[in-house]
C-alpha cells in the first residue's frame, strides 16, 4: 500500500477486510498476554473477513480514527512513533507469525508490516494480511482485553464488528474457499511423506527451538544437517515431528522456496515407554539399506531396490533426493551402528535438508540441545495431559508433579498415564518417579550411565551430583576438576563424554544436570567407596563451604551413623572457619549461608558456633546475621541457648521473645524456672522474671 492507496483507504468505511485503530495496542515496550490476544484477534478476524471477501487482502491501519468519515472526506489521522515494539518491524512480524501459528490453524502464510507517510509528520502503521487458504479457527483459548474466545472458535467481521461465526456461516465460508483454492488443495495433497501421527493434542512449548529449526531449514542457510540432542524423554522426537507436520500442514501458505515437496521420517527407535512399561518396537531402521528403502518408498522410486549394489543405490537415492526439496528426519540416531549412515547424511545432495535426533551428541554442525521445559510450559503440558486422560489433580498436586518431573515431558506423560491407566494415586506415582530402577530411569538414562561405570566420567557425575545445591545450580570446569581430584585430561575427556551422552548440560561454560539424573546417581552412591565419598564431600566444602552441608544431607541416609558423624565433624569445622572469615569481612550474604549450613549439620560444634555468631552480632539484634542465627536455633529447638542469649541483653528483645514463643511454652518456662532457682545475680533474676512474665497465662 503506497500513500495514494492509503489516502483512498482513509475514505472507506470499516468492512470485513479493513480496520482502523487510532493508536498501537500499548504505550510500553511490550504487549502483555491480553494485549497480544487483542492484536491476534483483530488479525484473525480480518483474515477470515466474511462471505464475499475470502479472496481479498485485508488491512489493519494504525494511526487512523475508527469513526467513519463523511462521504468524500478523509478520517482523522495520528502519528504513530517508531519506538518500542515498532522500532523493529521485522522482529514484530516474526513474533506475530509465530504466535499466530501457536494459536490458530491454518496459519497465515505471511503478513507485511510497514509505515506509510500520510503527510509530513504523520506516519501510519499498515499491517497487510493476505487471504488464507481456508477458514481460520482457534486451536486454543484466546484471552483478549474484553473476552475469552474458546478453542474451536471462528472469528469473522460483520461490518466494523468482530463476531463468532455460527456453523452455517462457517459452512458457507468453507464453500467459498473450496471453490477459489481447489488447485492449491490438490498440490497440498500431493506432498510426499510418511509422517506418523503425533500422540499429543496440541504441541506445548519449545517456541525458541522451533523458530531456530525453521531458520536452519531455510534454503538460504548453508547447514543441511541439523542435530537435535538431549537426554531420553526430553522431547526430541516430538519436536522434530511437530515441525515436520507444520511444514506439511502449512505447505500452501509457505513461500515457494521454503516448501518441502517430500518429507521422509526414518525411526531407529527400538523401544517406547508406555503406561505398562517399556515395550519393544519391531519396525525400526538400523542400516543404510533400511534408510535407502524408506526414502525410495516415500519418493516412489520403484527402481531403487535391495537387489542393486549398495554403491548404485547410493547414487540413485542421491539423484532422487535432488529432484525436489526433501526433508529427511532420522530419529534416535544413537541406536544406529552402521557408520555408512553417518557418511550418507554428511554428503546429502542439494536441496535436501536433514534433522537428526539423538541422545548422544555428534560432530555435525551446531547442535540444538533440548533442556528441561520451562515451568509454565511444563504446567501447560500437565494440564493438557490431565484433560486428555480425564485425570483430576489439584493445583498443589500439579505443582508437585512439575517439581518431581523436572521439566522432562516423557516423565509428565508417563506419570499421568499411571494415574489414568492403572488408577494409581498421585503420591504413589511420585514415589515411582524417584525409583532408580523404575521405568523412567531405565528408559531415559540408565543405559548411558552404565556405559560410563568404569570411566572417570562416572566419578565426575557423582561429584556434580553431590556439589549441586540450592546455592550452586551449576559448576565451573575448575570446580569440578578440584572436587573430583582428576587430572586435567581425565576431567576434560570425562566432561565431553557426559555432555555427549546428554547426562550433563553446559551453559555459558558452566555445567549442571537434570534433577532425575541426580536422583538416580544419589541412589547409586552406596556403590562408591566411602573413603572416596568422604574426600569428595570435603573437597566440595573446601571449594564452597555451605555446599558441604548439602552434600552431607544427600549421603547421610545411605551410610551408617558412625561414618557420617566423622564427615559431619570435618565439614562443620570447614564451614565454621569460613563463617568467621566472612564475618571478619562483613560479608552480609556469606555468613547467613554458613549459618544455614551449620543448622543443617546440627552437630554440637555447629550449634555452638551459631550461638557464638549470634552473640557476636547481638548489638545489631535486628540485623540479618542475628535474626538468621536466632531463627536457626529456634528451628533446632535450642531453648537453653536462646535463654543464654537473652541473658546477655539488659532486657528481652522482641526477636528473642518471638523465637521462644514458637517453641513449647512449658519447656521454655521450665528452663527459666531452673535458671531462677540457681542464679545468684539479682540483675539476672530480674531479667529472667521479665522473660517468664512474657509466658505467663
Q: How is residue 312 written as a grid cell? A: 548404485
Lowest mean pLDDT among 320-329, 524-533, 569-578: 524-533
CA angle 609, 613, 618 (to 5 degrees): 145
Q: How is residue 548 written as a grid cell? A: 558441604
- 3-state DSSP assignment of residue 384: helix
- 3-state DSSP assignment of residue 410: helix
Q: H-type helices in 452-544, by residue range?
A: 456-467, 477-484, 488-500, 515-523, 530-543
- 3-state DSSP assignment of residue 295: helix
- Residues whose CB falls within 8 Å of the CB of residue 333, separated by 6 or more in sequence, listed in order: 268, 341, 356, 357, 358, 360, 362
506: pLDDT strictly greater than 50: yes
- The whole-number pLDDT of residue 328 equals 94
281: pLDDT strictly greater than 90: no
- Give backbone dihedrals phi and psi of 270, rounded to 5 degrees, phi first: -95, -15
- The whole-number pLDDT of residue 343 equals 86
Task: Kindly provide the b/e burial profile for residues 196-222, where b requires at least 16 CB atoms within 10 angstroms of the residue's own CB.
Answer: eeeebeebbbbbebbeebbebbeeeee
For every residue of 3-42, DSSP letters joined together read HHHHHHHTTSPPBTTEEEESS-S-SSSS--HHHHHHHHHH
Confidence of residue 483 (pLDDT cuts 50, 70, 90): very high
The average pLDDT across 642-649 equals 84
- 3-state DSSP assignment of residue 272: strand
Confidence of residue 277 (pLDDT cuts 50, 70, 90): low
Burial (CB count within 10 angstroms: exposed 0-12, middle 13-18, buried 19+), residue 7: middle
Could you give the C-alpha distances from 124 to 6, 21, 130, 279, in angstroms and in order?
A: 9, 10, 19, 60
For every residue of 274-293, DSSP letters joined together read ETTEEEE-S----SHHHHHH
- The whole-number pLDDT of residue 434 equals 63
pLDDT tens for each residue of 290-326: 888 888 888 888 777 766 788 888 888 889 898 889 9
Confidence of residue 354 (pLDDT cuts 50, 70, 90): very high
Q: What percent of the chain has pLDDT over 90?
A: 21
Closest Cα to residue 647, out of 675, 617, 628? 675
The average pLDDT across 674-693 equals 85
How far apart are the C-alpha atoms of 642 and 140, rounded to whole Å? 57
- Residues whose CB falls within 8 Å of the CB of residue 135, separated by 6 or more in sequence, listed in order: 48, 154, 165, 170, 173, 174, 177
186: pLDDT strictly greater than 50: no
- The whole-number pLDDT of residue 310 equals 82
Assess contact for 551 and 466: CB atoms under 8 A: yes
pLDDT tens for each residue of 104-147: 888 777 789 999 888 888 889 999 998 887 888 998 888 888 88
Q: H-type helices in 181-249, by residue range?
A: 182-189, 207-216, 236-249
**Average pLDDT score, the chain:** 84
596: pLDDT strictly greater than 60: yes
Q: How is residue 205 written as a grid cell? A: 512449548
**Residue 330 forms beta bridges with which residues?**
266, 356
286: pLDDT strictly greater than 80: no
Task: Kindly provide the b/e burial profile for residues 455-494, where b requires at least 16 CB atoms within 10 angstroms of the residue's own CB.
Answer: ebbbbbbbbbbbbbbeebebbeeebbbbbbebeeebbebb
- The whole-number pLDDT of residue 622 equals 54
Lowest mean pLDDT among 240-249, 411-420, 601-610, 639-648: 411-420
> Residues, the chain, total?
697
pLDDT tens for each residue of 426-475: 777 777 776 656 677 777 777 788 888 889 999 999 999 999 887 888 89
Amino acid at each position: 500500500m503506497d500513500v495514494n492507496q492509503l489516502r483512498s483507504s482513509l475514505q472507506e468505511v470499516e468492512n470485513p477486510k479493513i480496520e482502523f485503530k487510532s493508536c498501537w495496542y500499548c504505550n510500553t515496550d511490550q504487549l502483555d498476554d491480553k494485549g497480544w490476544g487483542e492484536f491476534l484477534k483483530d488479525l484473525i478476524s480480518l483474515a477470515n473477513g466474511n462471505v464475499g471477501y475470502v479472496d481479498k487482502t485485508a488491512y489493519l491501519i494504525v494511526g487512523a480514527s475508527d469513526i467513519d468519515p463523511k462521504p468524500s472526506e478523509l478520517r482523522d489521522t495520528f502519528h504513530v512513533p517508531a519506538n518500542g515494539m515498532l522500532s523493529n518491524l521485522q522482529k514484530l512480524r516474526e513474533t506475530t507469525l509465530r504466535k499466530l501459528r501457536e494459536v490458530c490453524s491454518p496459519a497465515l502464510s505471511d503478513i507485511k508490516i510497514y509505515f506509510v507517510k500520510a503527510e509530513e509528520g504523520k506516519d501510519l502503521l499498515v499491517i497487510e494480511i493476505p487471504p488464507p487458504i481456508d477458514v481460520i479457527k482457534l486451536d486454543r483459548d484466546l484471552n483478549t482485553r474484553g473476552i475469552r474466545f474458546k478453542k474451536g472458535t471462528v472469528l469473522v467481521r460483520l461490518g466494523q464488528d468482530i463476531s463468532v461465526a455460527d456453523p452455517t456461516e462457517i459452512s458457507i465460508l468453507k464453500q467459498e474457499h473450496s471453490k477459489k483454492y481447489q488447485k492449491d488443495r490438490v498440490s497440498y495433497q500431493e506432498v510426499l511423506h510418511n509422517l506418523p501421527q503425533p500422540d499429543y493434542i496440541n504441541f506445548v512449548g519449545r517456541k525458541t527451538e522451533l523458530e531456530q529449526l525453521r531458520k536452519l531449514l531455510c534454503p538460504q542457510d548453508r547447514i543441511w544437517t541439523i542435530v537435535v540432542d538431549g537426554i531420553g524423554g526430553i522431547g526430541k522426537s516430538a519436536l522434530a515431528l511437530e515441525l515436520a507436520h507444520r511444514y506439511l500442514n502449512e505447505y500452501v501458505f509457505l513461500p515457494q522456496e521454503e516448501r518441502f515437496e517430500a518429507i521422509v521420517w526414518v525411526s531407529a527407535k527400538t523401544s517406547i515407554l508406555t503406561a505398562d512399561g517399556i515395550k519393544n518396537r519391531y519396525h525400526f531402521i538400523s542400516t543404510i539399506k533400511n534408510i535407502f528403502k524408506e526414502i525410495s518408498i516415500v519418493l516412489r522410486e520403484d527402481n531403487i531396490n535391495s537387489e542393486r549394489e549398495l554403491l548404485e543405490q547410493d547414487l540413485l537415492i542421491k539423484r532422487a533426493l535432488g529432484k525436489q526439496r526433501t526433508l529427511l528426519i532420522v530419529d534416535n540416531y544413537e541406536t544406529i551402528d552402521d557408520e555408512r549412515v553417518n557418511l550418507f547424511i554428511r554428503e546429502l545432495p542439494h536441496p535436501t535438508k536433514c534433522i537428526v535426533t539423538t541422545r548422544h551428541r555428534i560432530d555435525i554442525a551446531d547442535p540444538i540441545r533440548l533442556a528441561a521445559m520451562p515451568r509454565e510450559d511444563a504446567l501447560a503440558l500437565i494440564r493438557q495431559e490431565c484433560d486428555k486422560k480425564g485425570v483430576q489433580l489439584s493445583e498443589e498436586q500439579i505443582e508437585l508433579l512439575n517439581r518431581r518431573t523436572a521439566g522432562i515431558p516423557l516423565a509428565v506423560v508417563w506419570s499421568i498415564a499411571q494415574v489414568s491407566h492403572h488408577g494409581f494415586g498421585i503420591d504413589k506415582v511420585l514415589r515411582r518417579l524417584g525409583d532408580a530402577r523404575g521405568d523412567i530411569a531405565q528408559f531415559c538414562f540408565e543405559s548411558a550411565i552404565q556405559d560410563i561405570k568404569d570411566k572417570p566420567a562416572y566419578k565426575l557425575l557423582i561429584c556434580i551430583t553431590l556439589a549441586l545445591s540450592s546455592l550452586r545450580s551449576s559448576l565451573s570446569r575448575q570446580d569440578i576438576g578440584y572436587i573430583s581430584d582428576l587430572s586435567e585430561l581425565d576431567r576434560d575427556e570425562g566432561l565431553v563424554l557426559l555432555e555427549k551422552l546428554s547426562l550433563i548440560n553446559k551453559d555459558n561454560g558452566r555445567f549442571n544436570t537434570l534433577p532425575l539424573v541426580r536422583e538416580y546417581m544419589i541412589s547409586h552412591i552406596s556403590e562408591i567407596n566411602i573413603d572416596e565419598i568422604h574426600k569428595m564431600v570435603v573437597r566440595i566444602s573446601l571449594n564452597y563451604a555451605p555446599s558441604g552441608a548439602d552434600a552431607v544431607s544427600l549421603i547421610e541416609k545411605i551410610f551408617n551413623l558412625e561414618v557420617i558423624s566423622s564427615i559431619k565433624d570435618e565439614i562443620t569445622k570447614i564451614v565454621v572457619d569460613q563463617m568467621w572469615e566472612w564475618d571478619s569481612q562483613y560479608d552480609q550474604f556469606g555468613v547467613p549461608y554458613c549459618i544455614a549450613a551449620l543448622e543443617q549439620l546440627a552437630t554440637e560444634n555447629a550449634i555452638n558456633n551459631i550461638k557464638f555468631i549470634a552473640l557476636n552480632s547481638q548489638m545489631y539484634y535486628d540485623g540479618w546475621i542475628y535474626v538468621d542465627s536466632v531463627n536457626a536455633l529456634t528451628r533446632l529447638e535450642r531453648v537453653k541457648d536462646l535463654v543464654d542469649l537473652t541473658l546477655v541483653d539488659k532486657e528481652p528483645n522482641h526477636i528473642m521473645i518471638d523465637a521462644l514463643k514458637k517453641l513449647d511454652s512449658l519447656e521454655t518456662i521450665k528452663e527459666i524456672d531452673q535458671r531462677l532457682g540457681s542464679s545468684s545475680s539479682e540483675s539476672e533474676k530480674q531479667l529472667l522474671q521479665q522473660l517468664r512474665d512474657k509466658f505467663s497465662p
